[in-house]
Homo-oligomer: A and B are copies of this chain.
Amino acid sequence: MKKELIPKSQNLSQWYTDVIIKAELADYAPVKGCMVIRPYGYSLWEAVQSFLDPLFKLQQVQNAYFPLFIPESYLEKEKEHVKGFTPYTAVVTIAGGQELTERLIIRPTSETIMYAMYQKWIKSWRDLPIKINQWSNVVRWEKRTYLFLRTSEFLWQEGHCAHANHDESMKTVLWALECYKNMYQELMAIHCIAGYKSDAEKFVGGNKTLTVEILMPDGKALQAGTSHDLGQNFAKAFNWTVQDEEGNDLHPWQNSWGLSTRSIGGLIMAHGDDNGLFFPPNIAPIQVVIIPIFKSDNQKEVMAYAEQIRDKLSDFRVNLDIKSGETAGFKFNQWEMKGVPLRVEIGIKEVKDNSITIVRRDDSKKAMIKSSEMIQKIKDILEEMQIAALSRHRKFTEENTHVVDSYGEFKEIMKTKRGFIKAFWCEDESCEIMIKKETKASTRCLPIDAGEKRGKCIYCGKPAMHEWIFAQSY
């Protein structure tokens, strides 16, 4: 592997695809718009699963599996929903050598097929809530695709719950969003803004969409996970009622929430530098890489010691690089590019001194430490790096969140440095449309903790109650 990475500071977009391919996170598939997630990239997704799945189970959400195929007529049951997804569907028309009488849609999301089953299973309030999640692949055919961030097939989890009343359903909606926020902060060291989507930006078929938005280094926002209050819309569209406690018919209140492999794209882009990736220790597939440095006369001694060190560091995700035919310098660059948080160098000096030399990926600081103290030291340093990475991204987000009160300033910012803009908006869709047309910035969300204020719409000047977050987006 040659190291010819476009510097991140010079061309983010090129760096992004470059580093994904060169670090072997993913590759382009032979099918347009699809990607192969390679082991190094897939292990990031496994880490996301390992973080979220136990949280779901603690909340009595159970995993299940629903079919890949949705009969066309099912997708059509909810009017807004079908309108939103139809342009992006992949359609099976032939199966088992025969033309199908009803075409099958590859699921772009599973509301319709899942709720048809819920309707069959749940007839009484006693059986509510039902809380089901599935880890699966979905397909939304995209014209312009981007590794991880927008691919025609992607992996995700989709949670789908139904409750006896709206309050309970909203609690689940907010809980799911909280899970996502925690995942980004604790696992990925990414700061995010949680809030409500505008009506124009919400999930098609739902009542309210909540979102976590993260700011990328180029000042664009990434919608990084969503949780939808579906109200009774789907229950009504399916004509699904259950008996309530008094024996009356009740349309259950539903919600759905999803987070996808897109999150991995956010992780890659949020961190890293001109030299390549940086993975926060909590999610790093390899936390510590050991590189032995030897000459022919001390190879055996150095290698034996390096193996000992590796065995002692088994609390960490550790890798001893024994590949032959590559210089130590080449290896340094390679593992730097691959974003491993801590490099351990072991040469004859370290052997004699019963020490190791450590080099941090984030600030390149180098230190020689006694092997007797290394476990605690490394633990401390990894924790420090995790915290520092989150602080860095939070600081970046704050520094690039601009409170503006003139539309001129708004336009200027979107033309130059971009970032989040906090501005009053009257919540009239026509202003939202014009702002997007003129600045490419859309409403990202109304932060959950925004509260009511009094101001004037940044576009039309009419009274406005809330400061919204605007940004250009991926």
Q: How many copies does the complex hold?
A: 2
The verdict on A450 contacting chain B, using a C-beta distance below 8 Å, is no
A155 to B141, alpha carbons, bound, how many Å?
23
**Other-chain residue from B116, B141, B323 in contact with A30 (beta carbon distance below 8 A):** B116
Q: How far apart are A275's CB and chain B's nearest CB, in angstroms?
A: 23
Indicate the size class of the contact surface on chain A.
35 or more
Whether the pair B66, A39 counts as a contact (CB closer than 8 A) is no
**120-169 of chain A: CB within 8 A of chain B:** 120-121, 126, 132, 136-137, 139, 141-143, 152-153, 155
Whether the pair B68, A137 counts as a contact (CB closer than 8 A) is yes
Q: How far apart are A324's CB and chain B's nearest CB, in angstroms?
A: 8
**Other-chain residue from B41, B45, B67, B141 in contact with A95 (beta carbon distance below 8 A):** B141
- Segment with Cβ contacts to B, from A83-91, A204-212, A292-300: A83-91
Whether the pair B106, A67 counts as a contact (CB closer than 8 A) is no
Give A90's nearest chain B residue, CB to CB: B95
Q: Which residues of B contact A86 (CB under 8 A)?
A: 97
- Segment with Cβ contacts to B, from A57-65, A222-230, A425-433, A456-464: A57-65
Give A126's nearest chain B residue, CB to CB: B325
* CB 8 Å contact bits of A86-128 with B (1 = contact, 0 = none): 1111111111110000011010000001001100110000100
Whether the pair A69, B153 counts as a contact (CB closer than 8 A) is yes
Q: Which residues of B contact A27 (CB under 8 A)?
A: 117, 120-121
The verdict on A396 contacting chain B, using a C-beta distance below 8 Å, is no
| Contact (A66, B113) CB under 8 Å given A87-B96, A91-B93, A92-B92 | no
The verdict on A367 contacting chain B, using a C-beta distance below 8 Å, is no
Q: How far apart are A247's CB and chain B's nearest CB, in angstroms?
A: 14
Q: Which residues of B contact A324 (CB under 8 A)?
A: 126
**240-265 of chain A: CB within 8 A of chain B:** none
**Interface pairs (6), CB distance under 8 Å:** A34-B68, A41-B64, A42-B64, A45-B65, A68-B153, A96-B142
Give the interface of A toward B (CB within 8 A): 27, 29-31, 34-39, 41-43, 45-46, 62-71, 74, 86-97, 103-104, 106, 113, 116-117, 120-121, 126, 132, 136-137, 139, 141-143, 152-153, 155, 323-325
